Amino acid sequence: MDIHLIPGAIPSESERDVVDAFLATQDTWDHSPFALGADDRTVHGGHAGRNRRHLLLPTLRTVQNRFGHISRGAMNYLCERLNVPPAEAYGVASFYALLTLEPAPPLVVHVCNDLACHLNGADRLCAILTEQFGPAGKPGADGAAMWKTSPCLGLCECSPAAYVQQAGESPVETVLTSATSESILGTLRGHPVTEIDRQSGKGHPSAPQTMGAERSALRLLTRVGRVDPDSLDDYRASGGFAALRLAFEMGPNGILREVTDSGLQGRGGAAFPTGRKWQAVASSPVHPHYLVANADESESGTFKDRLLMEADPFALIESMTIAGFATGCKQGYVYIRGEYPHAAQRIQHAIDSSRNRGFLGANILDQGVEFDIEVRQGAGAYICGEETALFNSIEGFRGEPRNKPPFPTEAGLFGKPTVVNNVETLYSVLGIILSGGGAFARSGTAGSKGTKLFCVSGHVEHPGVYELPFGATLRDLLGQSGGVRGGASLQAVLLGGAAGSFLTPDELDVALTYEGTRAIGASLGSGVVMVLDERVDLQDFVLRIAAFFRDESCGQCVPCRVGTQRQEEALLRLASGATNGTRQNEIRLIDDIARVMRDASICGLGTTASVAVQSAIAKFGVFQHDR
């Protein structure tokens, strides 16, 4: 292939070694199209070489983790090895927030100042860091460390939070929970980072129900906080892999029937019937089929999938194997967002030990079933949670959404029929197999079946993941989580995350179902319930949402690229009082922008970028008056 490398950019010996060592772990295909093998006489490139673009992001991550940035020399070398033009690789690398193309300190602390952390003092924290360490994005005096602000890290139940990247020979990726200025400054000044194990053995503090009497009613969280997430035997002792055995007995058609009968709807936010999706892929004559678990949980305020993967990782392996068996997939991918290092480690460990024990591989349980799973980690891009953007990211392209149709069931990952499911959706399948689709369909309400996880954060006594059968009200959920913290009074609830909408204290009796929320013009989304007490400056909070969308728009389509920018500008003008014309003019402009984005954006980011903003203006009157 005609690759034009960056002139004069020479990789260092260690950069070569790191790339070579990583690629050597990736597959049995041990030659690269450019780099010579041990002999200098043969190169196996061509189709095999050009088919390795999907290793681009993992390779970029590896270089980033080792050296703290991706030098031009390293870029040249990995492009040679992967047969990718450097200009394209640059486009990919610059797409992701966690990849750096200019020299940077080896230690970077990403301090979340997104919605939940904002509610819990992140701004104050950042001010202290600026004063005592220096401004965000600037290396400290010794050049060894730097801090940055970050969008939501999915650690909302223990906010404020930070994500730590320590590049080096033994790279460290970890998180700081309930972060303080002391803990962050200590990390920045080189104190070793120790992860607090939140596992107690008697329940999980991030899922308060698991610590009390209600745990017997739990289906999805039943093992959370009880089983050792690194022990396959512990998982089996608590009922693990029973569903898989049963599924093999049912056969693919039996599974498809149960899942369809169950009425299970996708838990990622769109609520598409899972059975229909599976049927479509299973019946496609085009092969191979792929399965993707969407664990790019990036919606502000969402952290349920992280908890499931960290506390009960084997259940994902089991449910994916069932899904793969039912839909004729031999290869599954788990795409985990880059800011979830512990979930990725747990899942990788679960994959390795499952494969080792015959629960994955060429002949699972001696049933002649072939299925395996690969972990792919993101690198900081909200948009990659959009399923087609996620495919592009896995394939080694910029994580930009594709136009639909064709839908993933027809042409998804690598252009093949693909089942892509949210993590919680997959976990729900285990119960359906064990108790039957009919039993599942009998729980919940007419339009919403089964149980649902809710991510409760903000000003509540006990933030965390809660599992409730469909039909419970928002008031029930707030009651379970201890009510507004410190006895303060409730100002608003953000339901569904940054792409969701604000509810007033008068709307607490809404049933948390798909149909119930729709009836009041809201949506469940991914299950975010963020509680804002009376002291919150809602206008500030809405500005943070607008900034989030402006920042996370991938820039591919004009309505979203321009619209998110213009929306924030209009809100900032309203906030400052320097409006163009009257306030009503500006609000009409925001409505116009919202309509354009909703009608013409390629993906859901653009179509929902104004929902929360508009609901705050309409229901709470923010930005309507001078302050």
Partner 1 sequence: MFGAGGGTSSYREAEETDLIVLWGSNARETHPIYFHHVLKAVNRGARLFVVDPRRTSSAQWADVWLGLDVGSDVALANAVGREIIVNDLHNRSFIDRATSDFESYRQSVEPYSLAYAERLTGVPSAAIRELAHAYARADRAQLCWTLGITEHHNAVENVFALINLGLLTGHVGRYGSGLVPLRGQNNVQGGGDMGALPNRLPGGYDVENADDREPFERCYGVSIPARYGKRLDEMFDAMERGEMHALYVIGENPAQSEADSHRTMRLLNGLDWMVVQDIFLTRTAEMADVVFPASASWCETEGTVTSSERRVQRVRKAIDPPGEARDDIDILCDMASRLGQDWGRLSAESVWDELRGLSAWHRGMSYARLEALDGLAWPCPAEDHPGSPFLHARLWQDPIEGKRAPFHAVQHHPPADALTDDFPIRLTTGRRLDSYNTGVQSSGYSSPLRWGETIDIHAADGHRLGIADGELVRVISRRGTIEAPARFDSSLRPGLAFMTMHFPDEVATNILTNDVVDPRSGTAEFKATAIRVEKINERAG
Binding site for partner 1 (CB under 8 A): 1-3, 33-34, 36, 39-48
Nearer to partner 1, 42 or 582 (CB): 42
CA distance 310 to 207: 12
Are 344 and 383 spatial neighbours (Cβ–Cβ below 8 Å)? Answer: no
> How far lies 301's CA from each of 11, 181, 594, in Å?
41, 22, 22
Peptide bond into 171 cis (omega under 30): no
- Phi, psi angles (nearest 5°) of residue 23: -65, -30
Q: How far is the CB of 7 from partner 1 (least distance, A)?
A: 12
Cis upstream peptide for 160 (omega within 30°): yes
d(CA 44, CA 31): 5
**What is the three-class DSSP state of 36?**
coil
- Kind plus residue range of the DSSP H or E element containing 308: helix 304-311
Q: Are 299 and 385 spatial neighbours (Cβ–Cβ below 8 Å)? A: yes
Nearer Cβ to partner 1 (25/42): 42
Surface-to-core class of residue 427, CB atoms within 10 Å of its CB (0-12 exposed, 13-18 middle, 19+ buried): buried
Give 33 or 431: the residue with its C-beta nearer to partner 1: 33
Pick the closer one to partner 1 by CB: 43 or 547. Answer: 43
Beta carbon of residue 540, minimum distance to partner 1 (angstroms, whole number) = 54
User: Tokens for 558?
Assistant: 């004009």
Task: Choose between 73 and 186: whose C-beta lies nearer to partner 1.
Answer: 73
Q: Report the nearest approach of partner 1 to the CB of residue 84 (Å).
A: 13
The answer for residues whose C-beta is within 8 angstroms of residue 439's C-beta and 6 or more apart is none
- The answer to whether 440 and 449 are in contact (CB under 8 A) is yes
| Least gap, CB of 44 to partner 1 (angstroms) | 6
Q: Is 464 left (phi over 0), alpha (psi -120 to 50) or beta?
A: left
Question: Which residue's CB is nearer to partner 1, number 28 or number 42?
Answer: 42
For residues 283 and 293, give the distance between their C-alpha atoms in angstroms, rounded to a whole number.
20
Please state the closest distance from residue 419 (CB atom) to partner 1, in A: 26
Cis peptide bond prior to 405, omega within 30° of 0: yes
Nearer Cβ to partner 1 (34/407): 34
Select 33 or 252, whichever has its Cβ closest to partner 1.
Answer: 33
Q: How far is the CB of 91 from partner 1 (least distance, A)?
A: 21
Give least dist CB 18 to partner 1, A: 19
The structure tokens 């992860």 sit at 195
- Helices marked H in 83-121 — which ranges? 86-93, 115-119
In whole angstroms, how close is the CB of 83 to partner 1 at the nearest point? Answer: 8
Specify the residue, 86 or 160, whose C-beta has the smaller distance to partner 1. 86
Q: How far is the CB of 76 from partner 1 (least distance, A)?
A: 11
Reading phi first (left if > 0) and then psi (alpha if -120 to 50, else beta), residue 168 is in: left
Least Å distance between CB 5 and partner 1?
A: 10
559: tokens are 């309505």
Q: Smallest distance from the beta carbon of 374 to partner 1, in angstroms?
A: 24
Q: How far is the CB of 32 from partner 1 (least distance, A)?
A: 11
Angle, helix 56-67 to helix 13-24, in steps of 10 degrees: 140
CB of 77: closest distance to partner 1 in angstroms? 11
CA 321 to chain centre: 21
Inter-axis angle of helices 313-327 and 242-262, nearest 10: 60
Give whichever of 27 and 182 is closer to partner 1, judged by the CB atom: 27
By beta-carbon proximity to partner 1, the closer residue of 13 and 40 is 40
Select 36 or 217, whichever has its Cβ closest to partner 1.
Answer: 36
Cα–Cα dist 617/303, whole Å:
27
Residue 37 or 135 with smaller CB distance to partner 1: 37
Name which of 35 and 520 has its Cβ closer to partner 1: 35
The tokens of 429 are what? 């399948």
Q: Closest separation between CB of residue 428 and partner 1, Å?
A: 40
Residues contacting residue 329 through CB under 8 Å, at least 6 positions apart: 281, 288, 289, 290, 291, 323, 371, 419
CB nearer to partner 1: pick between 40 and 169: 40
For 624, other C-beta atoms within 10 Å of its C-beta total 12
Round to whole Å and give the CA distance between 358 and 244.
12
Nearer to partner 1, 7 or 486 (CB): 7
Residue 462: which of 415, 529, 561 has the closest Cα? 529
CB 391 within 8 A of CB 379: no
For residues 221 and 224, give the distance between their C-alpha atoms in angstroms, rounded to a whole number. Answer: 5
- Report the nearest approach of partner 1 to the CB of residue 388 (Å): 24
Q: Which two tokens stand for residue 102?
A: 């200019």
The sign of the dihedral angle between the CA atoms of 310, 312, 317, 321 is negative
Q: Residue 620, exposed/middle/buried by CB under 10 A (0-12, 13-18, 19+)?
A: middle
Residue 552: both structure tokens together = 């996370």
Shortest reach from residue 48's CB to partner 1, in Å: 7
